[in-house]
Amino acid sequence: MDKIIEYFLNEKKTTEPVAKILAKTIMKYDDLQKEFLKWLETRCLDFESPVMIEGYTAKQISEIEPSMDVAGIYNFMVTLREQPEKGKGYIENGFPRK
């Protein structure tokens, strides 16, 4: 948990309150939190047994939308889990920006 907050503070240069808010989503699910921590250690999304949600892994999301940073990818994985139709709609529409 602290490593994720430190990532937002040190690498993303957020304030502590913002870091805690951003980390909270990633830490919501144990499997996603563990995988994000693995990414922090390796800086690689090519895991032997990746978390798959609605048929997508974090690596696949990064390939579909290369401009999305890793924190965004894991936040999106939460969306896929909690609102699968909404998440798949974003994918089908090429992650439109408003």
70: CB partners within 8 A, 6+ apart: 36, 39, 45, 58, 62
| Cα 8 off chain centre by | 13
SS3 56: strand
Summarised one tens digit per residue, pLDDT across range 65-95 is: 999 999 999 999 999 999 999 999 999 998 8
Summarised one tens digit per residue, pLDDT across range 2-24 is: 999 999 999 999 999 999 999 99
Which helix (H) or strand (E) is 94 found in, with range?
none
Please, which pLDDT band fits residue 98 given cuts at 50, 70 and 90? low
Other CB atoms closer than 10 Å to residue 18's CB: what's the count? Answer: 13
